């Protein structure tokens, strides 16, 4: 190797070595790709199928869904709404450590967590066409998000967990602000096809006690930013905590495997 080539190679190696590493906590703006960018052919078909499965989950995957919910009952606008647990960027965020599992898990495992908890159903096979379609959709949604970063708006909005809940006040808020869509008994509002226009928030067709939304402060964070639908941010943090304290404690399906959650002993105070 001549001197010039050696010098170029050395400079390139130094540039790589000195480049700042992407930290897990680094955040970037949340880009949402235009559907016109979905490619033609098998990959494009898989992306569209993945979106259909996630937005019409109850009907499309009856063997895997044990209640009346769709994935987009919580992941609003097909997983593209900030602070409504968007899927944008997730393809490059996993594998990731989850304290509830006490280990590093894959994106497929995280998806199946939702099927077993939020959907009160059964997991998908990792190599199934359905799982691959869901993964394809989430990969497409993550277009332009650097691997190892979190998008602004990932998960839910932070909420003050020192706030003391008042479920009696929460019931009055639910009656005034939530019951018109989600029903006086949390039963939701059905559509003519047998699904739900607005999902049930307790009862047999809702998420089970092992779901993240069954945790008071997690539910409060979602409510604070997103509810009432189209009027997100109009409730105070205290109101959100109060109404979450009311509806999360209503009857819902059990989840026996929750006894294995937080094996490291760091169980949150609002965990069911």
Q: What are the tens digits of pLDDT across the range 170-205?
A: 999 999 999 999 999 999 999 998 889 999 999 999
- Confidence band of 25 (pLDDT split at 50, 70, 90): low
Tell me which residue of 181, 163, 194 sits closest to 226, measured CA to CA.
181
The mean predicted confidence, pLDDT, of the chain is 91
pLDDT tens-digit readout, 103-118? 999 999 999 999 999 9
Where do the structural domains in the chain lie, given as residue ranges? 27-151, 167-257
Q: pLDDT grade, residue 142 (50/70/90)?
A: very high
* Three-state DSSP state, 196: strand
CA distance 128 to 149: 28
Q: What's the pTM value of the predicted model, to 2 decimals?
A: 0.88
Q: What CATH architecture applies to the domain 27-151? A: Orthogonal Bundle (1.10)
Q: Please list the helix, strand and coil fractions of the chain in percent, rounded to the nearest 5, in that order.
A: 45, 5, 50
Which stretch of DSSP H or E encloses residue 197?
A: strand 196-198
For the chain, percent of residues with pLDDT exceeding 70: 91
Judge: domain 167-257, CATH 1.10.760.10.
Answer: yes
Judge contact between 72 and 55, C-beta under 8 A: yes
Do domains 27-151 and 167-257 share one topology? The answer is yes
Phi, psi values for residue 108, rounded to 5°: -60, -40
């Amino acid at each position: 190797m001549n001197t010039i080539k050696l010098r170029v190679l050395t400079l390139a190696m130094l540039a790589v070595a000195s480049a700042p590493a992407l930290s897990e906590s680094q955040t970037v703006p949340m880009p949402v790709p235009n559907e016109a960018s979905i490619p033609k052919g098998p990959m494009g078909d898989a992306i569209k199928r993945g979106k259909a499965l996630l937005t019409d989950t109850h009907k499309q995957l009856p063997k895997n869904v044990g209640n009346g919910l769709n994935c987009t009952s919580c992941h609003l606008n097909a997983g593209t709404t900030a602070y409504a647990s968007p899927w944008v960027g997730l393809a490059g965020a996993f594998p990731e450590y989850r304290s509830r599992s006490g280990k590093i898990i894959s994106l497929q495992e995280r998806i199946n967590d939702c099927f077993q908890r939020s959907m009160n159903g059964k997991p998908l096979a990792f190599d199934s066409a359905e799982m691959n379609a869901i993964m394809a959709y989430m990969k497409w949604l993550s277009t332009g998000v650097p691997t190892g970063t979190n998008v602004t708006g990932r998960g839910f909005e932070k909420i003050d967990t020192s706030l003391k809940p008042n479920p009696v006040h929460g019931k009055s808020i639910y009656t005034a602000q939530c019951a018109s869509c989600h029903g006086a008994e949390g039963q939701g509002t059905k559509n003519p096809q047998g699904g739900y226009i607005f999902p049930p928030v307790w009862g047999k067709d809702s998420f089970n006690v092992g779901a993240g939304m069954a945790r008071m402060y997690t539910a409060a964070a979602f409510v604070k930013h997103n509810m009432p639908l189209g009027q997100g941010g109009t409730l105070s943090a205290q109101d959100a905590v109060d109404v979450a304290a009311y509806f999360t404690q209503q009857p819902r399906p059990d989840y026996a495997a929750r006894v294995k959650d937080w094996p490291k002993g760091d169980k949150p105070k609002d965990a069911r």
